[in-house]
């Protein structure tokens, strides 16, 4: 019972987005250098998972302390995890676990600072500060979606830098794509929480634009992702195979239309949110695969 509560609290199903971002950085490294430091790769995955779980735990803690989760109707994709309102864990347990995971992730990051220098320190500093303040000052300022987009980009860029000690246009552009995909999911999943978030001082993009207005512009997120991929392929930064990500366009087009119909219907939003989560994962995995497959095609010739 306790284990299942902790798995709920860290929102294990959403950790995959950050893991995909790590693998995207590793795939680009393989594509460009033909080698991967497996030890560094394993530590990167562990550190990123710790940091991602930390932000989710601290988010649950602050949402409960501010009574936000008491006013929401929980679904599998919104309204918090429910472990605190249901009394499965105590607030202090969740807070301490969040801080411990933040420290563990930071310690792994410090090792990479020692190995790779100040560039990792900048990325790590951004991660630690923004994770701790995400559920209060960042979200309250209306910057939640921006933070998540930057976080995704930093994971890809940081993973690549840890492997190569270099930066480049490929991990930067791929990072933006990964970040926008994660931001898309956060954006859609905030629709059911609109009223509770607004009444307790939060400023999500959905609150700023209003539900109807936000539903009307949801298509912007996937268009930005596809446009970056297309441009990167055109300027020979991504392999041609990366255009395969556009095969998810019909899926997300239908989801955007469904969102316009169901933006104010909590029950109708559940399949839409599920669909956007799947869209983000599938698109990310296809992008990872495009670099890996292109690499093996090249070395086989």
CA angle (43 as vertex; 95, 116 as ends), nearest 5: 110
Q: What does pTM read for this prediction?
A: 0.92
Total domains present in the chain? 1
Lowest-confidence segment of 66-70, 82-86, 113-117, 240-244 by average pLDDT = 66-70
**Contact in structure between 75 and 192 (CB atoms under 8 Å):** yes
Residue-wise pLDDT for 125-166, tens only, equals: 888 888 888 777 787 777 788 888 888 899 999 999 999 999
pLDDT at residue 79 is higher than 70 = no
For residue 126, the model assigns a pLDDT of 85
Q: Between these two residues, 78 and 42, which has the higher pLDDT value?
A: 42
Cα within 13 Å of Cα(77), Cβ side: 21
Taking residues 116-123, what's their average pLDDT?
90
Domain range for 221: 2-300
In percent, the amount of the chain with pLDDT more than 90 equals 60
Mean pLDDT for all residues in the chain: 90
For residue 20, the model assigns a pLDDT of 96
Residue with tokens 């830098």: 161
Tokens read off for 5: 């509560």
Residues 6 or more apart in contact with residue 191 via CB below 8 angstroms:
78, 206, 211, 214, 215, 259, 263, 269, 273
Residue with tokens 């000690």: 165
Cα within 13 Å of Cα(179), Cβ side: 21
Nearest to 167 by CA among 237, 260, 74, 217: 237
Residue-wise pLDDT for 4-45, tens only, equals: 888 888 887 788 899 999 999 999 999 999 999 999 999 999
Integer angstrom CA distances of residue 88 from 12, 51, 91, 93, 281? 17, 22, 10, 10, 29
Nearest to 17 by CA among 115, 198, 151: 151
Residue-wise pLDDT for 204-262, tens only, equals: 888 999 999 999 999 999 999 999 999 999 999 999 999 999 999 999 999 999 999 98
Residue-wise pLDDT for 266-287, tens only, equals: 888 999 999 999 999 999 999 9
pLDDT at residue 1 is higher than 60 = no
Q: Between these two residues, 133 and 167, which has the higher pLDDT value?
A: 167
Please provide the DSSP assignment of 260-283 as one string: HHHTT-HHHHHHHHHHHHHHHHHH
**What's the Rg (C-alpha) of the chain?**
19
Q: Tell me how far apart the alpha carbons of residues 186 and 101 are, in angstroms, rounded to a whole number.
A: 22
CATH value at residue 144? 1.10.600
Nearest to 247 by CA among 214, 296, 285: 285
Q: Tell me how far apart the alpha carbons of residues 109 and 45 are, in angstroms, rounded to a whole number.
A: 11
Tokens read off for 165: 């000690």
Lowest-confidence segment of 78-87, 193-202, 290-299 by average pLDDT = 78-87
Q: Tell me how far apart the alpha carbons of residues 95 and 11 are, in angstroms, rounded to a whole number.
A: 15
């Amino acid at each position: 019972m306790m284990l299942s509560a902790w798995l709920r609290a860290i929102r294990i199903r959403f950790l995959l987005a950050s893991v995909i971002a790590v693998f995207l950085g590793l795939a680009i490294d393989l594509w460009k250098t033909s080698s991967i430091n497996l030890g560094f790769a394993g530590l990167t995955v562990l550190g990123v998972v710790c940091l991602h779980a930390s932000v989710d735990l601290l988010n649950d803690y602050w949402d409960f302390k501010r009574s936000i989760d008491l006013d929401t109707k929980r679904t599998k994709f919104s309204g918090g995890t429910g472990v605190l309102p249901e009394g499965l864990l105590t607030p202090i347990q969740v807070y301490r676990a969040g801080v411990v995971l933040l420290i563990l992730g930071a310690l792994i990051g410090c090792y990479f600072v020692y190995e790779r220098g100040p560039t990792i320190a900048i990325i790590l500093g951004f991660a630690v500060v923004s994770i701790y303040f995400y559920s209060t000052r960042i979200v309250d300022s209306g910057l939640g979606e921006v933070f998540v987009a930057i976080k995704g980009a930093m994971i890809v860029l940081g993973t690549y830098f840890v492997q190569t000690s270099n930066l480049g246009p490929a991990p930067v552009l791929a990072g933006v794509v990964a970040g926008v995909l994660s931001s898309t999911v956060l954006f859609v999943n905030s629709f059911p929480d609109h009223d509770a978030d607004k009444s307790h001082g939060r400023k999500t993009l959905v609150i700023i634009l209003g539900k109807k207005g936000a539903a009307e512009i949801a298509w912007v997120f996937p268009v930005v992702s596809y446009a970056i991929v297309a441009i990167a392929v055109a300027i020979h930064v991504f392999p041609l195979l990366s255009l395969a990500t556009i095969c998810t366009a019909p899926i997300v087009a239908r989801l955007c239309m469904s969102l316009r119909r169901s933006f104010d219907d909590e029950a109708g939003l559940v399949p839409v949110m599920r669909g956007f989560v799947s869209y983000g994962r599938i698109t990310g995995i296809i992008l990872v695969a495009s670099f890996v497959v292109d690499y093996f095609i090249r070395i086989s010739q």
